[in-house]
């Protein structure tokens, strides 16, 4: 029987997931809520308020949806999986309590401490204890120091001040600035020396399989400078994630995480993102995400040879152990085309030209909209240009070659995506 799918989300990650799902021979109809102009070419976009769980359930019933796939973190933290599962509906994505691995940094750190999962040392302070937090930072006297807003902050809730002065300024910003809502509680961590990588698992609540690795580029500027963003580009696989590192990550981090969630009565079903710092002592957890990374998803899904929908369907039925997940042997690199000014103030509504000229890359939409058959910018991260190659260098070159075909006013992108991966291949 064909599987009718509802995909929740509107970003580049969701376009990549839709692209992968649309290739399945098992797919009936694909609906994206709300989707974007990219997903519209793969199925039907629907204007659904995903915060209104009752309206989502009504749509599912009216359109004979067999499976709902949740892309972003907010609906998961809001409990949409709990609601739909209670209705007897198959939904892919962790329940609210399991999604707290991302929804609360404090929850995640305490969980790792309970299960002896390697991570940075930390202390937690409430917002009215920021005076104590300042004293703690001064007493430690170690810089850089890592400040993390406890709640969801769209990938921008981590500050890494490099001096006491910067730390005190950051505390003021977290108390009264744009991040104050997410920072009702604050996690202060030791700074871990090393290089970051992301490893992804797909889980059915009992078992897991690794579904790829990548390296993201969070900072807005070349050489990993400037403000943190949702991600300016990524490549996969990441050479720093060696066979030994991946085996250690599975054994010391992913398995204890899945086993620990199950032991505590919160079995984890969905994609699990494990952000790693590869330190001299081995891999340690920087953070968890309760969904696929963005833009890492855009370079991992195109590498999959396996049927993505079949694997997701198996997860919702607790049958992941019977699924095989295979990848091709090529590299992928994605470069994010952003609106000028991102991640701070930026303008929308700039006409995007040249997409029809892109021939040797996949373009995933993120912040775009269609108006009278013309495509316009509609967000900070606008497009993801994904190149492929037998080597990482070829994949990088393929991405940047096709970017030359695309243009919109104040278009910005980093020109060094993937460069830090090349040094591991010399």
Model confidence pLDDT, tens digit, residues 216-266: 999 999 999 998 899 999 999 999 999 999 999 999 999 999 999 999 999
CATH class of 193-322: alpha beta
Could you tell me if 65 and 78 are in contact, meaning their C-beta atoms sit under 8 angstroms apart? Answer: no
341 C-beta neighbours (distance < 10 Å), count: 13
Q: What are the tokens at 317?
A: 């039925």
Per-residue model confidence as pLDDT tens for the chain (426 residues): 899 999 999 999 999 999 999 999 999 999 999 999 999 999 999 999 999 999 999 999 999 999 999 999 999 999 999 999 999 999 999 999 999 999 999 999 999 999 999 999 999 999 889 899 999 999 889 999 999 988 887 777 888 999 999 999 989 888 877 778 887 899 999 999 999 999 999 999 999 999 999 999 999 999 999 988 999 999 999 999 999 999 999 999 999 999 999 999 999 999 999 999 999 999 999 999 999 999 999 999 999 999 999 999 999 999 999 999 999 999 999 999 999 999 999 999 999 999 999 999 999 999 999 999 999 999 999 999 999 999 999 999 999 999 999 999 999 999 999 999 998 886
Record the pTM: 0.94
Tracing tokens 């108390």 back to the chain, one arrives at: 175
Residue 290's pLDDT is: 96
Residue 173's pLDDT is: 82
Q: What are the tokens at 1?
A: 């029987």
**Backbone conformation region of residue 219, classed left if phi is above 0, alpha if psi is from -120 to 50, else beta:** beta
- What are the sequence ranges of the domains in the chain? 3-95, 121-190, 193-322, 331-425
- Distance between CA atoms of 319 and 377, rounded to whole angstroms? 41
Report the relative pairing of strands 185-190 and 122-126 from DSSP bridges.
Answer: antiparallel
Q: Render pLDDT for 95-117 as a digit per residue (tens, 0 to 9).
A: 999 999 999 999 999 999 999 99
The domain made up of 121-190 has a fold known as: Dna Ligase; domain 1 (3.30.1490)
Its sign, for the CA torsion 413, 389, 310, 256, is: negative
Report the relative pairing of strands 233-236 and 331-339 from DSSP bridges.
Answer: antiparallel
Could you tell me if 148 and 158 are in contact, meaning their C-beta atoms sit under 8 angstroms apart? Answer: yes
- Distance between CA atoms of 218 and 371, rounded to whole angstroms? 31
CATH class of 331-425: alpha beta
Rg (CA), the chain: 21
Structural element, H or E, at residue 371: strand 368-371
Could you tell me if 12 and 294 are in contact, meaning their C-beta atoms sit under 8 angstroms apart? Answer: yes
Tracing tokens 């962790």 back to the chain, one arrives at: 94
CATH placement of domain 3-95: 3.40.50.20
Residue 180's pLDDT is: 80
């Amino acid at each position: 029987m064909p599987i009718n799918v509802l995909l929740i989300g509107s970003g580049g990650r969701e376009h990549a997931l839709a692209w992968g799902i649309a290739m399945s021979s098992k797919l009936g109809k694909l609906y994206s809520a709300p989707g974007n102009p990219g997903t519209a070419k793969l199925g039907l976009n629907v204007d659904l308020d995903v915060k209104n769980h009752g309206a989502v359930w009504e749509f599912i019933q009216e359109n004979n949806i067999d499976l709902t796939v949740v892309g972003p973190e907010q609906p998961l933290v809001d409990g949409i999986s709990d609601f739909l599962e209670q209705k007897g509906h198959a939904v892919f994505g962790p329940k609210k309590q399991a999604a707290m691995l991302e929804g609360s940094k404090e929850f995640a750190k305490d969980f790792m401490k309970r299960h002896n999962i390697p991570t940075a040392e930390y202390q937690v302070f409430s917002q009215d204890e920021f005076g104590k937090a300042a004293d703690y930072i001064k007493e430690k006297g170690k810089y850089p120091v890592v400040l993390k807003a406890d709640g969801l902050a769209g990938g921008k809730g981590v500050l890494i001040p490099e001096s006491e002065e910067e730390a005190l300024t950051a505390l003021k910003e977290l108390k009264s600035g744009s991040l104050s809502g997410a920072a009702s509680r604050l996690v202060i961590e030791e700074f871990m020396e090393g290089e970051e990588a992301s490893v992804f698992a797909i889980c059915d609540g009992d078992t897991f399989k690794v579904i790829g690795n990548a390296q993201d580029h969070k900072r807005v500027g070349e050489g990993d400078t400037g403000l943190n963003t949702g991600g300016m580009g990524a490549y996969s696989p990441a050479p720093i994630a060696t066979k030994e590192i991946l085996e250690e990550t599975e054994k010391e981090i992913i398995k204890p995480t899945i086993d620990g969630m199950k032991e505590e009565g919160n079995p984890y079903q969905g994609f699990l993102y494990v952000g790693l710092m590869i330190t001299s002592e081995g891999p340690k957890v920087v953070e968890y995400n309760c969904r696929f990374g963005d833009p890492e998803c855009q370079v991992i899904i195109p590498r999959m040879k396996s049927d993505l929908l079949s694997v997701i369907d198996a997860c919702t039925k607790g049958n992941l152990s019977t699924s095989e997940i295979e990848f091709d042997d090529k590299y992928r690199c994605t470069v994010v085309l952003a609106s000028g000014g991102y991640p701070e103030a930026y303008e929308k509504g700039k006409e995007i030209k040249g997409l029809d000229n892109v021939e040797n890359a996949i373009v995933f939409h993120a912040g775009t909209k269609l108006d009278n058959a013309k495509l316009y910018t509609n967000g900070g991260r606008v497009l993801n240009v994904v190149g492929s190659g037998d080597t990482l260098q070829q994949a990088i070159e393929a991405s940047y070659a096709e970017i030359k075909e695309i243009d919109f006013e104040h278009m910005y992108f980093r020109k060094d995506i993937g460069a830090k991966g090349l040094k591991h291949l010399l």
